[in-house]
Structure 1
Amino acid sequence: MKVSVVIPVFREGEIATLLADLLARPDAGALEIVVVDGAPGQDTLSRIPAHLAQNPRLSLLASPPGRAVQQNAGAGAARGDILLFLHADTRLPDNAFSLVRQCLADPALSGGAFSLGYAEASAGLAFIAAAANARSNFTRVPYGDQAIFLRRSVFRQLGGFPALPVMEDLELMTRLRRQGHAIRILAFPVRTSGRRQLREGLVRCTLRNLFLRLLYHLGVPAELLAGLYLRHGG
């Protein structure tokens, strides 16, 4: 099964390192990477060295800003059987592509995600990751920074990510669960950046995010939540 990795970016400084890591993986196989830049000047795409940009497994796209919009654009251009949505500040575990293929070799599964982990060594971040993993294993609704992957046919059936400024990942996976699709949360963790949490303060950032998710589940419009998220450091 061919895996297409869709990476939405907006003024990312470490894109070359991420792409080099993905392309060098021995289990990549028939891998496709689609980078979708939402910045007006496509400055992230301009940071990709020529030797990477010319790789036939890499596609570079421009899109209006917004993670949902960018991921839908990337998914629309992708040709793989499996779509894996990867945030630019997240690194996949070793053998990630083999793990994804093994997971979806089970025809009863429509997708999955990895467990959450942080790149920085911090007891507070480790606690947040453990709590988030317990939540996603219980609810079967993983976060976007857990590198969600879906069969392309299922993603199309769902209509892609909803056009929301925030919470697009939770809405998509909630819709998936409500329609009776089974997923698997893999025990292997990604390593995502915890710099924002450490900069803001772990307690403040965690409480804010929990409060915003509660408001979303209570029906507060995502557009209003996006304003609150950005206003308070998101």
Structure 2
Amino acid sequence: MLSIVIPTLDADGELRSVLCRVAEVDLPIEIIVADGGSSDVTRNIARVSGARVVTAPPGRGGQLAAGAEAAVGSWLLFLHADTRPGDSWAVVIKRFIAHPGNAYRAGYFVFALDDPAPAAKRLERLVNWRCRTFGLPYGDQALLISRTFYDHLGGFKEIPLMEDVELVRRIGRSRLIPLSTIAVTSAARYRREGYLVRPVLNLFCLGLYFLGLPPAVIERIYRWR
């Protein structure tokens, strides 16, 4: 079984389309919405769609960890609520899971934005270069990993930011496999904050994390706007 874990916080504007897309996969699945205390109808949308809702304190690391703990599948797909897998995702997922050599590897989608603007396309190329060169996919590219490997690594840490980077560094570049399909994530934050300012701030926060600054401090910088 494939367990799809989606962390949410006031995501009622995005969740329906993601739930519809993930229901397409031709595999036994369970969908777990790990909610951080939404004040909108996010949890109702999840339940009506047949997802199981678990609650956790707000913070992606803790929510992802709670969702994984509740999951019963032998494979886990961690997917953000504002990210939709591309058209061929179900075939690609099945192929990856079926390969016995992937039991101790993890897969991630190719980054794409729901914005045709040239600035968005430049950012897509930059992100995909970062992944190829440094082995650093972020959470908005999803993460497909076997339960065995996830447990072996110790899972997501309950930190407010950089939980994705922290885990993929433990996975290791050689065991991270780019999947041959895209994940389309919302460009709303980039449109709102700017295609220069937001990526530069993201890079600055990543540098602070590598220098050892606590994630709680980095989170305040990340959300400064």
TM-score, with length taken from structure 1: 0.89
Matching residue's letter, 1:38: G
For the residue of structure 2 that corresponds to 1:215, the secondary structure is helix
Q: Distance in 2 between matches of 1:123 and 1:211?
A: 23
Sort the Cα spacing of 1:161 and 1:48 in 2 relative to 1 into closer, same or farther, 3 A.
closer
Contact 1:22-1:28 at 8 Å conserved across structures: no
Residues 1:60 and 2:53 are matched in the alignment: yes
Q: Which residue of 1 aligns with 2:34?
A: 36
Q: Which residue of 2 aligns with 1:155?
A: 150
Q: Which residue of 2 aligns with 1:164?
A: 159
Unaligned stretches of 5+ residues in structure 2: none
Moved more, 83-92 or 215-224: 215-224
Q: Distance in 2 between matches of 1:162 and 1:29?
A: 28
Sort the Cα spacing of 1:104 and 1:141 in 2 relative to 1 into closer, same or farther, 3 A.
farther
Matching residue's letter, 2:93: V
Q: Which residue of 2 aligns with 1:76?
A: 69
The number of equivalent residue pairs is 222
Deviations 1:163-198 (A, max 9, x none): 2111110010001117xx622112311100011111
Q: How does 1:1-234 map to 2 (within 5 A)?
A: 2-13=1-12, 14-23=14-23, 25=24, 27-39=25-37, 41=39, 43-48=41-46, 50=48, 52=49, 55=50, 58-109=51-102, 110-177=105-172, 182-231=175-224, 233=225
Unaligned stretches of 5+ residues in structure 1: none
Q: Distance in 1 between matches of 2:145 and 2:123?
A: 25
Compute the RMSD of aligned alpha carbons.
1.8
State the percentage of identical aligned residues: 33
Deviations 1:96-121 (A, max 9, x none): 13212212333333211011000111
For the residue of structure 2 that corresponds to 1:108, the secondary structure is helix
Contact 2:10-2:39 at 8 Å conserved across structures: no
Return structure 1 stretches of 4+ with deviation > 3 angstroms.
40-43, 47-50
Contact 1:3-1:84 at 8 Å conserved across structures: yes
TM-score, with length taken from structure 2: 0.92
Give the CA deviation at 1:214. 0.9
For the residue of structure 2 that corresponds to 1:76, the secondary structure is helix
